[in-house]
Each structure stands twice: as C-alpha cells, then as structure tokens.
Amino acid sequence: MQSRLIWIMRPDDANIAGNVHGGTILKMIEEAGAIISTRHCNSQSGERCVAALARVERTDFLSPMCIGEVAHVSAEITYTSKHSVEVQVHVESENILTGAKRVTNKATLWYVPLSLNNVNKVLEVPPIQFAEKAQEEEGRRRYEEQKLERLETKERNGDVIMPVINPEPYTVGYSQSSLIHLVGPSDCTMHGFVHGGVTMKLMDEVAGIVAARHCKTNIVTASVDAINFHEKIKKGSVITISGRMTFTSNKSMEIEVFVDADPFVDESQERYRAVSAFFTYVSLSKEGRPLPVPQLVVETEDEKRRFEEGKGRYLQTKAKRQAQTQPLTQQ
C-alpha cells in the first residue's frame, strides 16, 4: 500500500533565509504516515481505529527545501507486527519553474492503531504480504531494535532543564530554551490527542532557537535522531518543550529536546515526560555554505557526561555514513 501527498512551500513555512523549517517537513512526513497507516489498519472489517505515532527513526535532511518549491511526500508500509505498522516516507522537492527534482528526506515511522471507542485499547494490525521471506525477517529485526531502544530511552527520561542566571556565552545555560504551548482542538486527532507532527514541529522550533542563540547565524536542521513518543498528550494540556545543547563538533550541534505535559483538564494526573529526541543542526553563511560552530563550554559533571554521550552518537553516525559510502567509492 502506498500514498502520495503534495504541498507547496510558503513564506510562513520557512526561516528568514528562505529555508523551509525542519519541523514543517517533519509534520508533512507524519501526516503522510498517519494517513497510510490509518487506511491500512481499517482495511478489514472490525472495530474502527486511528493510527497514533509511536516513534520516528533517525531522519537525515539531505538537501534544503526553499520557499516556492513543491514537496512530494510518498509513504509506503514496509512491515507490520501484531500491534504496530512501519511506514517509510520519501520527500522530494520540485522546482516548478524548471521541473527539477531532488530527494530531501527519508524517514521511517512506527504507528499503533488505537480504537475509536476506547483510546487506551490497541487493536491488531492486518498483516501485509511480503514478496520474499528475507524482507519479513529484516522487518522483524528493525521492529525488535526500535522496541528495545524505546524502552532504554524511557528509562533515562528524568532530566529537567533548570534556568541559569547570567550565563556565559557558549555555555549550555546561555542557549537553552523553552516554549510553552496550550494544546487546542486544531492540534489534535479525532481522539482529542496531539498529532505527532504538531509536537515534532514545536520541538524543531525550540531546537532551532537553541542553535541560533549559540551560533548567531542562519541555522538549518541536519538530522533528527530517533523521536520517541512515550505518552499521549491530551487536548487542553499545557506542554513545555525544552531544549539544551549537548555536543558540538567543528560543523554541527546536537540539541536534546523533550516535551513535558501538564494535563490540567485531568487534575488526577501529574506532569509527565511525553516525548524526547536529539536534533542536529548546522550553521550556514548567507550564501548557504557551512560555517564552523563555536565549541560548547561544558561546566558541570552532568554537562560533561552529556557531551561525551553526544560525541559517541556523533562518531557512531559518522562511522555508519562512511561505511555506507565506502562500497560506492570502491565500485
């Protein structure tokens, strides 16, 4: 099963340099994934449901998208488990004046079907047919890996960002930022819970503010590490999206972002961590060329620990990228 959506990029989708916000692209990706997974989960007779986003795998922003270009977003279901759907999404940008197209994003998302009658009830997913047994086994491997990573991320989600008085430039406290948002009906699904794409767009905005404060230049989203949706966010909740810089290399910045929800409508429930992720940004000149990133000044033991953890993720990603390109250079 496949689906395809088309958007034209407008000025309110982009930053002051004309580059489309990473959050806008993430929102398009999520909408395409939600449509195809909801269609699939309702393809057989039985209890009706809507697909809710559970996780977004690492997503690389391969090429900037600009105002006036047309985004072609295609989605395909590539694996189903008993209670989840894997969707792979490709984004192409088209220059409508020349007809030239280029791939800007590739993403993998996981959804779970929630009953329309009972939002806490997860329904079974109709299985898909695989052309080869190896495809099914590879999909099962991806499913088990993301399931384990979600559990590990949830266990380390106790951090809170505290305000810093008179922070020095280039320190963690200097650029850390927060945004508070009241969840309204336009943010939500028919269940009354926030769309995953809305949450990701807000997270990207906060990460962008952190990066801009640190560099004071034009910045763009380079990649997003896995985004884990730990708990649903209800309509009427007040959410706090917080971001802080964790690591810098010579040309990139890693920013940790998490979303905490205060369910004021339901006073019996306390504030909780709903979503967490790491965003990577790069600094660009006015001509769109990469600029050196000012090095992050770490002061506390926790900041030093997070810096080393971020360095480990950076080196791991770099090694994977080199391993993927090496066979191409040897041909």
Can you give the residue ranges of every domain in the chain? 2-148, 172-311
Taking 70 as the threshold, does the pLDDT of residue 316 lie above it? yes
Identical topology for domains 2-148 and 172-311: yes
Residue 197's identity, in one-letter code, is G
Taking 80 as the threshold, does the pLDDT of residue 330 lie above it? no
Q: Give the fold, CATH level 3, of 172-311.
A: Thiol Ester Dehydrase; Chain A (3.10.129)
- Res. 267 pLDDT band, cuts 50 70 90: low
Mean pLDDT of 292-316: 95
15 is catalytic: yes
* Two structure tokens written together for 20: 């489309």
pTM value > 0.85: yes
Taking 70 as the threshold, does the pLDDT of residue 156 lie above it? no
Q: What are φ and ψ of residue 15, in 5° steps?
A: -85, -175
Q: Which CATH number fits domain 2-148: 3.90.1150.10, 3.40.50.300, 3.10.129.10, 3.60.15.10?
A: 3.10.129.10
Q: Are 49 and 42 in contact (CB under 8 A)?
A: yes
- Res. 211 pLDDT band, cuts 50 70 90: very high
Mean pLDDT of 120-147: 92
**Residue 325, Cα to own-chain centre: how many angstroms?**
24
Query: Using one digit for the tens of pLDDT, what is the confidence trace for 13-42?
Result: 998 888 999 999 999 999 999 999 999 999
* Two structure tokens written together for 26: 């993430």
262 is catalytic: no
Confidence (pLDDT) at 58:
87
d(CA 283, CA 209): 12
Q: Give burial (CB, 10 Å; 0-12/13-18/19+) of 77.
A: buried
Catalytic residue among 15, 60, 159, 262: 15
| Residue 97 DSSP SS3 | coil
Q: Are 197 and 257 in contact (CB under 8 A)?
A: no
Catalytic residue among 13, 204, 225, 260: 204
Handedness of CA 202, 203, 206, 212 (dihedral sign): negative
Q: Are 207 and 331 in contact (CB under 8 A)?
A: no
* Two structure tokens written together for 66: 């600009």
Q: In angstroms, what CA-CA distances link 290 with 160, 206, 217, 245, 252?
A: 32, 21, 11, 19, 9
